[in-house]
Chain A
């Protein structure tokens, strides 16, 4: 496959995946251009009060630079809040809790990230996020197909199998769901045992005798 030498996109033309439970809309950039050298994505809060950047910490993670492209955001950095109108740059080192909430309509933030001293590798969460977005839209077949691809790419990542098990369970495919859950539990038994009891995705297979056997 030949790669395109260059590509152009307007921020307002970027796909919108979400909103998730917090109102965050993911606007893929790295994936759209197939950037290999650094992570880059845009996030939008459509209304004031919508979350733009999930409150999170990147433990052992990338350095991240946030650029407020449009609107106005309130950044949460550690215990502080900072007003960030369009044109503001916020650079956050790993380990610091950070998040951002829209203070104006259509607030879009570009997030650029990579780990210092390491070769960049695209994160699997991008595929997961898209699969989850299709599921939320009701397109379970497309979500399941993306999860199959993800498992093929990352056969040793327990979350991939776990999430595939969720989708297969919800889709009514008990055999596939049990197999995927078993594989997830082999890779990370503690986390799988911790998460499954409260994960309603497994309600359809909870009474299947193979369910308890799979999580061990």
Chain B
């Protein structure tokens, strides 16, 4: 038996945001599909330009308040509150404006799996900021600090391996973090094989060893 409550009622404003997104799935403890809410960033962007080709996820965007402007495969879509935008994995999509957009996602043919960041989130955020600015050694330091708090967090182990590889540290320890990440969260096995962060070590025997 699970101790999880049978139901949870929440309003988006009551859920502590992580920067400009609201971790709905984690807050409610949903395991069966992904769902988060996004709001306007300083640059006016709500949903960054991306595809879901790597994840294979279908995504349904629900504009719950305000008005967003979507651009999907180059086409403009006016999306006031009450608009539903369904996008298959390969389409390029982004949205800007002043709106709250709920995003529901999962990959057809796969049982949904996900990682909760919980109190590892601030370390993850700092590491991703450094990663985005190509400060890979700083990214590794941020992940290390996170692992001190959450030593069994699969996402931190995986990112440690990514960032250390990019920082040029390809010692055994880097592969041990990758091995541990896959052990804790098997979907990382598939992700690692196509992840550009590991391009420089893909032919290293220790890489395949870590994915066994």
Contacts and interface: CB of A to CB of B under 8 A. Distances in A.
A10 interface: yes
B7 A65 contact: no
Contacts of A7: 85-86
Contact of B64 (A87, A92, A115): A87
B212 interface: no
Interface stretch (B22-30, B121-129, B148-156, B167-175): B22-30
Nearest to B14: A89
Contacts of B77: 8
Contacts of A12: 82
Contacts of B91: 5-6
B139 interface: no
A75 B9 contact: yes
A56 to B, nearest CB: 14
Contacts of A37: 33, 57-58, 105-108, 112
Interface residues of B, number: 49
B28 to A, nearest CB: 4
B88 A6 contact: yes
B84 interface: yes
B90 interface: yes
Contacts of B106: 37-38, 114, 120
B88 A5 contact: yes
Contact of B85 (A6, A89, A95): A6
The size bracket of the interface on A is 35 or more
A96 interface: yes
Contacts of A116: 31-32, 111-112
A117 B111 contact: yes
A6 B91 CA distance: 7
Given A6-B93, A91-B7, A38 B33 contact: yes
A31 B4 CA distance: 31
Contacts of B60: 29, 33, 35, 40
A102 to B, nearest CB: 17
Given A9-B83, A115-B32, A119-B111, 7 more contacts: A5-B90, A6-B87, A8-B83, A8-B86, A11-B84, A35-B86, A119-B109
Interface of B: 4-13, 24, 28-33, 35, 57-58, 60, 62, 64-65, 70, 72-73, 77, 79, 82-88, 90-91, 93, 102, 104-112
10 tightest A-B CB contacts, nearest first: A36-B108, A116-B31, A37-B106, A114-B32, A33-B86, A91-B28, A96-B6, A5-B91, A116-B32, A11-B82
Interface of A: 3-12, 29, 33, 35-38, 40, 62-63, 65, 67, 69-70, 75, 77-78, 82, 84, 87-93, 95-96, 98, 110, 112-120
